[in-house]
Copies of this chain bind each other. A is one copy, B any other.
Amino acid sequence: MFESAQLKHRVGKAAYAQEEAALRAALLNAQYDLKLDGSFPVLILIAGVEGAGKGETVNLLNEWMDPRHIRTKAFGTPSDEEAERPAHWRFWRALPPKGQVGIFFGAWHTLPIVQRVMGQIDEGDFTRQIADIQRLEQMLCDEGVLLLKYWFHLSKDQQKKRLKALAADPKTRWRVTETEWAYFKRYDRFVEVCEPFLRQTSTGAAPWIVVPGADARFRALTVGRHLLAALRERLDAKAAKASPEKTPPLLAPSDRLNVLSALQLDQPMTRTAYERQLEKWQGRLNLAARHPRFRKLSVVAVFEGNDGAGKGGAIRRVTGALDARGYDNIPVAAPTEKKRAQPYLWRFWRPLPRRGRFAFFDRSWYGRVLVERVEGYCSEADWKRAYGEINDFEAALVRHGVVVVKFWLAVSKDEQFKRFKLREQVEFKRFKITDEDWRNREKWDAYEAAVCDMVDRTSTATAPWTLVEANNKYHARIKVLKTLCEAVESALAKPRGGTGRR
């Protein structure tokens, strides 16, 4: 990867001055066109060896373009806030919305490389992290992000010279500490790790661009020209947008037997039995939430189900067992414009709970493969790739020690009809029933097919779906409470919670 970059590229002062003026103007124009266009975000990743001009380049880009529409974010050691969430949380939080430019300084590439160079992770772990990065970047590109990855390179000699020069100048001496020299000693090993890493994470949609770092002027023009070309290409190609690509169909339900129709939706439970059970499971859940080891865990519970199946009621019976300061309710409605300017998983990364807390999602990221699929809000290719993306997302949560519990509350078509009618009649329930509910009801079969695909493709050993027979609300609420409580108890019983649960 570094063959070209190690050559002695140079640009003279006069040539630079002449080109810089034109380049700045063109970049600024492109940035404004991007803002006007508003159909995609630009994410620039800055990485590479010490002393190769990464920081200078970031400053220059902010100088050349309008810094008010650039979000520059340097990722160092994770903050407390960040360390308590899955590793990628902080990157998601900083993603630029459509029409804007984000610059990430030390993004998801840094840690795996450093850990591998230092021998803290083995080849297998490294391979797994590379695969994770490939999938993350593929997903961002599929979501329309223009992902530009610049790697600043210096040969060993060049790096040595550069560090010496910095150390000799009183104005820059502070930049060369023992850490920098320690890194320099590992230069060969660093390159040995980085080269295959760069190759494996270079794809057609998001190739690494290796920038020769030794000559400041050459480096600046290299990045500036490439950024401009990439922006213009995407902006000008907009008209020729690809038609939604065709992907193989999933299995259409060919008989009436599926995971939903196989449920016995009417489950008996009397009010008396319910009240006894409610007290029992709320008590156990409360105890579990106050267990000392719970401070190391967090819980993400997803509530999906038919309209009128009683999601809200079930959530309230769970939260009834908990300290109000220990959980968040996250109701999920149709995305706002701000949310639509981001990849669809973005708005679910943000409210992830810190350790020791619960988050209850009333509807969730599964909207992608439910309502967005059925209503055609996204392309077929989009929701089909979402199964894998959602599995990746939940796997990241579980690896971080999050207990993931997912409920589908199922009522029969008849029972739904009864509840809708009741809602229309009872004054204080009328707000709960809208024309949309009736419209959704007409698409009952399409939703059923979507739910079955969802359960088949996203019920995993570590984050399984629980299908809840909900014609009888008492039964449904107790099943939810019991499942959640047992999941937490089982995670508490393990040395490190959340993984390995079935």
Contacts and interface: CB of A to CB of B under 8 A. Distances in A.
Contacts of A234: 246, 248
Interface stretch (A97-105, A253-261, A474-482): A253-261
Interface string A188-210: 00001001100110111111011
A457 B4 CA distance: 10
A254 B222 CA distance: 7
Interface stretch (A62-70, A170-178, A380-388): A380-388
Interface stretch (A80-88, A118-126, A310-318): A118-126
Interface stretch (A5-13, A338-346, A485-493): A5-13
A3 interface: yes
B204 A381 contact: yes
A127 interface: yes
A168 interface: no
B391 A199 contact: yes
Contacts of A206: 248
Interface in A218-261: 218, 221-222, 225-226, 229-230, 233-234, 237, 240-243, 245-252, 254-255, 257-259
Interface residues on A, range: 35 or more
Contacts of A388: 199-200, 202-204
A78 to B, nearest CB: 25
A351 to B, nearest CB: 25
B257 A230 contact: no
B202 A457 contact: yes
A192 B500 CA distance: 11
B460 A196 contact: yes
B233 A251 contact: no
29 contacts: A1-B456, A3-B259, A3-B455, A4-B259, A4-B456, A5-B456, A7-B257, A9-B255, A9-B257, A122-B124, A127-B127, A199-B387, A202-B457, A207-B247, A207-B457, A209-B250, A210-B456, A221-B254, A222-B251, A226-B251, A229-B249, A229-B252, A230-B248, A230-B249, A234-B248, A237-B246, A242-B243, A242-B245, A243-B243
